[in-house]
Amino acid sequence: MGCILNDAGGCGTGKPVSQELFPGVTREVLVKTQHRKKEVREQNPADMATRESNVGKLGTRKVQGSAAGNKGRKAIGFPIVGIGASAGGLEAFTELLKHLPFDTGLGFVLVQHLDPQHESALTQLLMRATSMPVCEVTNNLRVEANHVYVIPPNTNLGIAEGVLRLRPRLQTRTPTRSIDFFFESLAQDQRERAIGVVLSGTATDGTLGLEAIKADGGITFAQDDSARYDSMPRSAVAAGCVDFVLKPEDIAKELARIAKHPYVAGQPHEPISPEDDWASLTAREVEGTSRPLAGRGTPRADAKPARGEAEAGRGNAGENGFDKVLLLLRNHSGVDFSLYRSTTIQRRITRRMVVNKQDSLADYARFLREAMPKNSTPFTRTCSSA
């Protein structure tokens, strides 16, 4: 049975989601996960250096990335779903495709761990599961909606301005991290229009990538205990970077729902300027977090108030809903988010609306008001987290 996670790492029952879905995930596992991520950075410097030069070090993204992200989203205009899998992944992805409508308007990129010494028949196998076009990625291939793209063997895959870029995989003794490589690239290029899915697989590839996607405003999924090999989804859940833990069939249904959400389908996304992103980074630093968490502190003196910018380009319904959300945040947490730029706040509120299945700002304000008495800490995190 699937579950929607809140930003405190729990589900609707109030129990830790990792223990409910994966009984073996304990505090010791959480600590080990953090140690593994540190070891990856320390033991694989060559691979990390290559990834950092292309997509930026996780947690210290430079302001220049904002311009690249704006270009990528403008070039595509629809969300891109990155799907990572390893052992047992073919079965899981086939099941996902079978239940996925052919006209969601999303683009799908599968990064599967493949034998580097042999040609892959994965593309041909997946063609049987969907009526969408399925093709193996070639260099400089632009992503199109309602298409499925499959990584070829012995390569790393990135994306820039909606165009898939191949590069040879580095030959190292450490485990391959091609899923992290693509997810981090996708997060920087598509920002809030990036969606990451981790399916069955061994080891921990994909965890760092999901962290990057969620930090930049995207949506994240992991397969539940239906995974034949659960190390990869288990690692992502333990890291606290997963929004939905579901079986492949339900992941497909949720992707179809997200594609139809008013703030995903057809509504323009306001570009994020380097100055705006600077304000976002400042908010993180004030909170002591490495990734976005709209927080306390003093914004830039030249930053236009979020409420003022919002009122300039919004109808009465949207304006009132936005004001209600900001007022709830201020009254409950003591944080006056209206002093920050609207693009930063809107990006995060929109993400929470999509995750919590709220179609309008007024609905979301009502949802927050009802949730407020239950638990103050998850409420605050739900409101303010990316």
Taking residues 227-240, what's their average pLDDT? 97
Asked whether the predicted pLDDT for residue 383 surpasses 60, the reply is no
Listed residues 204, 236, 260: the one ending a domain: 260
| pLDDT at site 160 | 96
- Residue 82 and residue 198 in one domain: yes
- Residue 223 and residue 296 in one domain: no
The pLDDT tens digits of the residues spanning 127-140 come to 999 999 999 999 99
Residue range of the domain that includes 109: 3-260
The answer to whether residue 46 is domain-embedded is: yes
- 64, 73, 17: which is closest to 270 by C-alpha? 73
Tokens of residue 287, six digits:
């909170």
| CA distances (Å), origin 287, targets 171, 280, 284, 292, 385 | 39, 11, 5, 9, 12
| CA distances (Å), origin 260, targets 100, 111, 124, 247, 255 | 13, 25, 29, 20, 9
- Residue 256 and residue 107 in one domain: yes
* Residues 76, 70: Cα–Cα separation, whole Å: 10
| pLDDT at site 206 | 97
Q: Which has more confidence, 108 or 3?
A: 108
Asked whether the predicted pLDDT for residue 151 surpasses 80, the reply is yes
Asked whether the predicted pLDDT for residue 249 surpasses 90, the reply is yes
> How does residue 66 score in pLDDT terms, banded at 50, 70 and 90?
low
Per annotation, catalytic residue among 7, 18, 66, 113:
113
The answer to whether residue 266 is domain-embedded is: no
- Residue 240 and residue 331 in one domain: no
Our answer to whether residue 118 is catalytic in this structure is no
* Residues 250, 2: Cα–Cα separation, whole Å: 8
Domain count, the chain: 2
Per annotation, catalytic residue among 47, 180, 189, 205:
205
Asked whether the predicted pLDDT for residue 108 surpasses 90, the reply is yes
- Residue 231 and residue 288 in one domain: no
Interior/surface letters 320-333, b for 16+ CB within 10 angstroms, e for the rest: ebbbbbbebbeeeb
Q: Which has more confidence, 323 or 2?
A: 323
pTM confidence score = 0.73
Tokens of residue 207, six digits:
């965890």
The pLDDT tens digits of the residues spanning 11-31 come to 433 333 444 445 445 555 555
| pLDDT at site 31 | 57
- Residue 246 and residue 285 in one domain: no
The pLDDT tens digits of the residues spanning 276-309 come to 444 444 444 433 333 433 333 444 444 444 444 4
Phi, psi at 289, each rounded to 5°: -110, 150
- 153, 204, 196, 152: which is closest to 34 by C-alpha? 204
Q: How far is CA 59 from the centre of its chain?
A: 14
Asked whether the predicted pLDDT for residue 258 surpasses 50, the reply is yes
- Residue 23 and residue 50 in one domain: yes
- Residue 247 and residue 313 in one domain: no
Highest mean pLDDT among 120-124, 241-245, 296-300, 364-368: 241-245
Per annotation, catalytic residue among 7, 47, 66, 86:
86
Helix axes 316-333, 342-355, angle to 10 degrees: 90
| pLDDT at site 334 | 82
- Residue 74 and residue 221 in one domain: yes
| pLDDT at site 35 | 62
CATH number of domain containing 110? 3.40.50.180
